[in-house]
Structure 1
Amino acid sequence: MKKKLILVLSSFITFTVLLAFSPHVQAAADPTIRATNYKMSIKLNTRKNQLTEKITMHIVNNGNESVKNLLVRNIAYGVLKYDHQHFKATRNAKTTVKNISSNGEKLTYTTGKDKSNLFVNKSLNAGQSTDLTVNVVTDVPQRNDRFGYQKVNNGKLYNLSFCFPYLSDYRNSKWNYHPYYDPGENRNSAISNFHVNLFAPKSYKVAASGQNTTKKGMTTIDAKNMREVAIVASNKFKVSHTSANGIKINNYYLSGKNSKQYNKLALMTAKDSFNLFTKDVGTYPYQELDMTESLLGKDTGGMEYPGLVMIDGSGFIKKTRKKKTIKKHKNTAPITTDKYTELTADVAHEIGHQWFYGTVGSDEYMEPWLDEGLTSFLENSIYDLTYSKSKVYCAKLEHNKYYNRKMVRRANQALASFIKKIINQPNEKTTYVNRPVNKPQKGIDTDDMAYDIGNIFPLALMETMGKNKFFAALHDYYQTYYLKQATTQDFLNIIRKYDNSKKVNYIINRFIDSNYLR
């Protein structure tokens, strides 16, 4: 997810900072019990705003122990429970599990305190596999967010994510799950293959994770080696395309006064981001990426999924002032930003998540910095600080005459100087980055920990190690955990492989709380 707004490019690049900063354990590549395939039949009723879902998951026990039950997560319950408490328009929306079966046999289940958790009474011995089918009917709430429908341009747009049942991870002899966390994410999923048939009115264009084709109201989606599937459908979408490094990029956008500028800038930013992140981190694993424009609510710039990113288009769809002032932290000066700069930041950030979250997975609830911090680093310190065609076009749209190669060099020098000051403050208070979303350091906001401090930690490592060593380590980390799941400890092991000096360990100790290493 992209929070608005951390770093802004204008006539001079302004760096905002939260504070003056002040033995090998490898993560399992896969959970021992996992769903290797999902077969999904989904019907979208746009009159009732309702999903009818039949999800069949092929589950394999690759471990050495048997289990007495299987944990299915119907995450839509957690989403709607939150919505009921915060949005009047969502209070009648509900999700109902009709039945769960295995090979035609109806199964019972219990929920316990959190009704998102369906503990299915189905044992699975070591080495065995089974097919589990979940039938559920879920209302789509009226909410401008990652799961919900919104009325736009005299039509409708459906963001369908966090609404499909899935098998929880089974690691270290237990089922792993987290409560729904609306300001961020609580995902923790292994790679699987998804085959989806989505039925929707013929007037709707569909974007989705993976590759898809639509014929006579049925969209067939094949998403291989992905952590989840997200779907966006609208009867008001236009579609345009570009490519980068052989990857097809599809932009689904809404018509409006500035739609041509939105479409062009979004595609240019996507292309530049792909080229830069591929060069500095590694190869993107999929053939396509879909971008979708929508309204995503206050302070949300975008949302990431494997093969699909949602981008907030509020500044282009709504009738708002061209410029607006954001004051993110009480100790920082207000920032005057522009919708075009916001768009480049949002697109670069969400595309960065294709590398960190989509390809290299992590437990977003327990270690949110691993995806948000590293992605903020890609956005702010690679895309934003590289002279690019998309930034040139953005400056042109903003009538900014100061964006040039010299200004970008000055911005890089300013950032290096700032990071050196952090490094050279030996008595400064430690500011930890690797805590769970529900246990940030006292006085530190969870978002600040994950995004801001999570961005500064790799910057400090890069300055201390030197760019050559740091990017070699980052590339190694990406390749080692490519389509797997990593932890902070795994990241540190790779860093120390390239530089285990006192200076690097000093930086690590400044930002990493050893009590929360996993």
Structure 2
Amino acid sequence: MIRRRLPSRFALCVLLLTLLASACAPAASTPLSPHPILVTVDPNSTATSTPFQPPQVTDTPLPSATPLPTDTPTPTETATSTPPPTETVTPAPAIPPATPVPVNSRTQYTFFVNLDYAAKTVAVNETIKYFNATGQSLDNIVMAVEPNLWSNVFALTSLDQDGIAITNYSLAGQRLTIYPAQPIQPGAMTAFTLSYGLTLPAKTYEKTFGYLGYQINLTDWYPFIVPYSGGWMLHDPWSFGEHLVYDAADYEVNVKVSDPKVIIAASGLAEANGDWTRYTVVGARTFALSASDKFKIVESAVGSAVIRSYYFAGQEDAGRAVVWMATQALGLYGVKFAPYPYPSLSVVETEVPDGREFDGLVFLAEKFYVEYNGTAKSNLITIGAHEIAHQWWFGLVGDDQTIEPWLDEAMATYSEKIFYEYNYPNYGNWWWNFRVNYFGPSGYVDTSIYNGGTFRLYTNAVYLNGANFLNELRTRVGDEAFFAFLQDYAARFSHGRATTYDFFSVLRQYTGADFSDIMRRYFQNQY
């Protein structure tokens, strides 16, 4: 079994980047308080009142965005409402991107989306080509319709299967159950077509979906077929955590916008398709869009993967820092875990408590941009590295993030540690104190969103104690086995869905070390 290692050239480049960053004039900043909310907010949670003073480490400003050499003058960025020119920053060493090949048995989603930006409405025609790979004869199909959890937002106007209208269905809350005239046999392909409208709600602080005065976010905005594993996997919403589970699928999203000044950030790259703008991505679990006539953009690349930072006027330094952080993260994670699985990455500023991940697109809190202190010792960089890590731990390797959320949340949290370890090694102690030790985490790592107690207890157990577990595990088995395991785990479950049993089954193939004592301390169940 081949064990991929960090190429020496890439290691030298990473070292050079670190030395260059360290050579920048230091700019001491006010120590930042830890961010008490990690990924999903609990409206009743409160920040710890005890102020935290991180270790006295000289803050190193992040490098400024440096345009790549070009034969033509680099256009200057403007603050007009027209789409701004993009600025290209020097990328990290190129990592060959993954080239996911569409699989015949993978569900395919095709959308034609008319977005009326001023009216805050969306008209959608959606076709789902579904291949029954369950091995079971299916007499019903279950779709998740997240917008229907809001009142008067989702309006279904037509539904058919293979061109024949369906009248036997039920829509209650987030659950759309379709009863085909004939059961769908194992190995059979069928197509569902839906037409519907969305009257977008005002976006609440805790959610990404909806509109602000200057931005529209479309997240979990369309009906999708939920995974089937002995039954349809559609969990009930909870006050915190993610309740949706997704299969990997292929997406083609064609968009028309009423206002030509509106800029779209999306999970895929844009191309012309007649009167439409088409975005495509394969092997993804979600497709998200964010629209604004106020966006400013700065751009970079790692290999063939295009990275774009979408931010608002007045946050230029933070917007550039984000694209630099994303360049570092994709370069590093692409070597330590697996090649980046998508053609692009959009990092979007919006009004949320923290951050939220979707395939090829992540949101970061507006307040992180406002509070950005010019260094990597900031929530903007820390949470950014976390959300980008979800492109591997959630996007590439899926899981049931309701029942076993540690498989992506603990992994993404520990990926932050790896990000700092390789890019800002002097900040290692700061990261542990700022992100983990400050909260004194305890609790079992294999906690579901339903039995986690309060939001604070849940995140302490799953995210933070999960990071403690992974660090102890890495120390016990050694770096060579640990990273070889991560690469094989990512490869085996690429575009699939892993369980805790899968995690430890693969791990045991890479080490003979006994880590049962660690598992007993961190897990309530044995695997």
TM interval, shorter chain, is 0.7 to 0.9
SS of residue matched to 2:469:
helix
Q: Residue 310 of structure 2 is aligned with which of 232, 252, 255?
A: 252
CA distance in 1, matches of 2:145, 2:266: 20
Deviations 1:297-336 (A, max 9, x none): xxx321111111112122445xxx788xxxxxxxxxxxxx
- The gaps in structure 1 that reach 5 residues or longer are 14-32, 82-92, 324-336, 389-404, 423-428
**2:111 is equivalent to residue 111 of structure 1:** no
Q: Among residues 212, 224, 228, which one is paired with 1:150 in the alignment?
A: 212
The residue aligned with 1:58 is 129
The 8 Å contact of residues 311 and 347 in structure 1, kept in 2 or not, is answered as: yes
Cα distance, 1:476 vs structure 2 = 1.6
Query: Helix, strand or coil for the counterpart of 1:178?
Result: coil
Kindly indicate whether residue 141 of structure 2 is the aligned counterpart of residue 96 of structure 1: no
Alignment coverage as a number of residue pairs: 428
Deviations 1:27-50 (A, max 9, x none): xxxxxx976211111121223312
Does residue 284 (structure 1) correspond to residue 284 (structure 2)? The answer is: no
Task: Pick the aligned partner of 2:422 from 381, 386, 401.
Answer: 386
Counterpart position of 1:129: 189
For 1:127 and 1:275, how far apart are their aligned partners in 2?
39
Map 1:248-327 onto structure 2 (within 5 A). Answer: 248-256=306-314, 259-296=315-352, 300-316=353-369
Partner residue of 1:349?
Answer: 386
Residue 145 of structure 2 is matched in structure 1 by 74
Alignment CA distance shift 1:444-1:107 (3 Å): same
TM-score norm. by structure 1 comes to: 0.75
For 1:157, give the aligned amino acid: Q
Question: Which one has a larger percent strand, Structure 1 or Structure 2?
Answer: 1
Over 3 Å counting, the alpha-carbon distance change for 1:3 and 1:341 in structure 2 is: farther
Change (3 A) 1:378 1:121: same
Residue among 198, 201, 212 paired with 1:141? 201
Q: Is the counterpart of residue 508 in structure 1 residue 523 in structure 2?
A: no
Instruction: Report the CA distance between 1:500 and its aligned residue.
Output: 4.2
Please report how far the alpha carbon of residue 245 of structure 1 lies from its aligned counterpart in structure 2 after TM superposition. 3.9
Q: Return closer, same or farther for 1:409/1:168 CA change in 2, 3 Å cut-off.
A: closer
The answer to whether 1:240 aligns with 2:298 is yes
Which residue of structure 2 aligns with residue 452 of structure 1? Answer: 464
Residue 228 in 1 paired to residue 286 in 2?
yes
Is the contact between residue 125 and residue 193 of structure 2 (CA under 8 Å) also seen in structure 1? yes
Whole-angstrom distance in 1 between the partners of 2:108 and 2:191:
9
Name the Cα RMSD after superposition: 3.2
Matched, 1:475 2:475: no
Which amino acid in the other structure matches residue 294 of structure 1? T
Task: Summarize the Cα distance change of 1:339–1:285 in structure 2 as closer, same or farther, 3 Å threshold.
Answer: closer
Residues 424-463 of structure 1 aligned to structure 2 (within 5 Å): 431-440=443-452, 445-463=457-475
Structure 1 pair 308–466 and aligned structure 2 pair: CA distance change class (3 A): same
- Cα distance change, pair 412–168 in 1 and its aligned pair in 2 (3 A): closer
User: Which range is displaced more, 338-347 or 242-251?
Assistant: 338-347
Q: CA deviation at 1:246?
A: 3.9
Bigger Cα displacement from structure 2, 176-185 vs 443-452: 443-452
TM-score by length of 2: 0.74
CA contact (8 A) 1:169 1:190 kept: yes
Partner residue, 1:11? 56
Q: Percent identity?
A: 23
Per-residue deviation, residues 335-380 of structure 1 (Å, max 9, x unmatched): xx9997111112111111111001111111111111111000001x
Structure 1 residue 180 and structure 2 residue 243: aligned? Answer: no
Counterpart-to-counterpart distance in 2, 1:265 and 1:160: 25
SS in 1 for 2:138: coil
Instruction: Classify 1:130/1:367 alpha carbon distance in 2 versus 1 (closer, same or farther; 3 Å).
Output: same
Asked whether the equivalents of residues 386 and 408 of structure 1 are also in contact (C-alpha less than 8 Å), the reply is no
Kindly indicate whether residue 223 of structure 2 is the aligned counterpart of residue 168 of structure 1: no
Q: 1:171 to 1:68 in 2, by over 3 A?
A: same
Gaps of 5+ in 2: 1-37, 42-46, 59-103
Contact 1:266 1:344 (C-alpha < 8 Å) held by counterparts:
yes
Other-structure match for 1:326: none
* 1:129-170 Cα shifts (integer Å, max 9, x gaps): 11101222222111143101112xxxx211101111101111
**Paired AA for residue 326 in structure 2:** A
Given that residues 210 and 221 in structure 1 are in contact (C-alpha distance below 8 angstroms), is that contact kept between their aligned partners in structure 2?
Answer: yes
TM superposition shift of 1:512: 2.0
The secondary structure found in structure 2 opposite 1:71 is strand
Tell me if structure 1 keeps the 8 A contact 2:134–2:229: no
Using the TM superposition, give the Cα deviation of residue 445 of structure 1 relative to its aligned residue in structure 2, in angstroms. Answer: 2.1
CA distance in 2 between partners of 1:286 and 1:493 (Å): 27
Secondary structure at 1:55's aligned position in 2?
A: strand
How far off is 1:110 after superposition?
4.0
SS at match of 2:251: strand
Counterpart residue type for residue 125 of structure 1 = Q
Q: Distance in 2 between matches of 1:121 and 1:352?
A: 38
Matched, 1:370 2:417: no
Structure 2 Cα separation of the partners of residues 460 and 115 of structure 1 = 42
Letter in 2 for 1:43: N
CA distance in 1 between counterparts of 2:271 and 2:136 reads: 41
Is the contact made by 1:51 and 1:138 (CA closer than 8 Å) also made in structure 2?
yes
Q: Is the 1:202–1:216 contact (alpha carbons within 8 Å) kept by the matching residues of 2?
A: no
Q: What secondary structure, in the 3-state scheme, does the structure 2 residue paired with 1:498 have?
A: coil
In the other structure, the counterpart of 1:16 is none
Mark the CA change 1:499 to 1:316 in structure 2 (over 3 Å): closer, same or farther: closer
| Cα 1:484/1:60, change in 2 over 3 Å | same
Question: C-alpha displacement at 1:115, in angstroms?
Answer: 2.3
CA distance in 2, matches of 1:12, 1:507: 32
Q: SS of the residue aligned with 2:504?
A: helix
CA contact (8 A) 2:125 2:195 kept: yes
